[in-house]
Amino acid sequence: MDIVTKQLKLEELSDLKYEVRIGDSQAVHYCSIMILKFMGEYGFGSSGNSDAIYMCAIGEAAVEAWGPDGLILDFSELVYEWGDLIERVFDIGKAKSGRIPFPEALVVGKQSEEAIRTLILGEYSDEPIDDIDWVHRDLNSAWAFIEEKLMEYDRDKKL
């Protein structure tokens, strides 16, 4: 019997690039916060499905490998116009955390902000992106948001 296979690599799914960084929480000394940054152009509509799958695979692997207590998804250098599957990326780390709260924040950039706003709030919404507490325009405010959530969870004995 001849077994026919082909080798696969996650990088074949997407041209997106990524960076993983981790730092210690200043608010809760035993916690760490991961920054997962994606760069490049996300495919338009369903042509971005493989990008979303790639982002999820990379994200879940990073969370599994380094076990952060909070996550910042950084889309500041991601070009994103449309495609619903990117919503799956917002769930990175949720399965691993189980019943323990796992705070997440999202940093948007000029080339992703409006599309993310309409994805979350609705295509015809007039609400500003500022109404979404976990979405930020800069890394510092996203980090502060995660720190605040970690302090809240620590105070309430949820960590």
In the CATH hierarchy, which fold is given to the domain comprising 18-155? Answer: Transcription Regulator spoIIAA (3.30.750)
Instruction: Grade residue 100 by pLDDT with cuts at 50, 70 and 90.
Output: confident
Whether the predicted pLDDT of 125 surpasses 80? yes
For residue 73, the cross-strand partners are 36, 106
The mean per-residue pLDDT over the stretch 109-131 comes to 95
Calpha distance 59→47 (Å, rounded): 20
Q: Give residue 76's pLDDT.
A: 98
Q: Read off the pLDDT of residues 18-68 as tens digits, 9 standing for 90 and up.
A: 999 999 999 999 999 999 999 999 999 999 999 999 999 999 999 999 999
Question: What type of residue is 19?
Answer: E
The mean per-residue pLDDT over the stretch 99-114 comes to 94
Instruction: Grade residue 114 by pLDDT with cuts at 50, 70 and 90.
Output: very high
Instruction: Grade residue 77 by pLDDT with cuts at 50, 70 and 90.
Output: very high
The mean per-residue pLDDT over the stretch 141-145 comes to 98
CA angle 8, 12, 14 (to 5 degrees): 145
Q: Where are the domains of the chain?
A: 18-155
Q: Read off the pLDDT of residues 7-30 as tens digits, 9 standing for 90 and up.
A: 999 999 999 999 999 999 999 999
Provide the whole-model pTM.
0.94
Q: How far is CA 77 from CA 18, 21, 24, 132, in A?
A: 10, 15, 24, 20
Q: Give residue 1's pLDDT.
A: 84
Tokens of 9: 């690599």
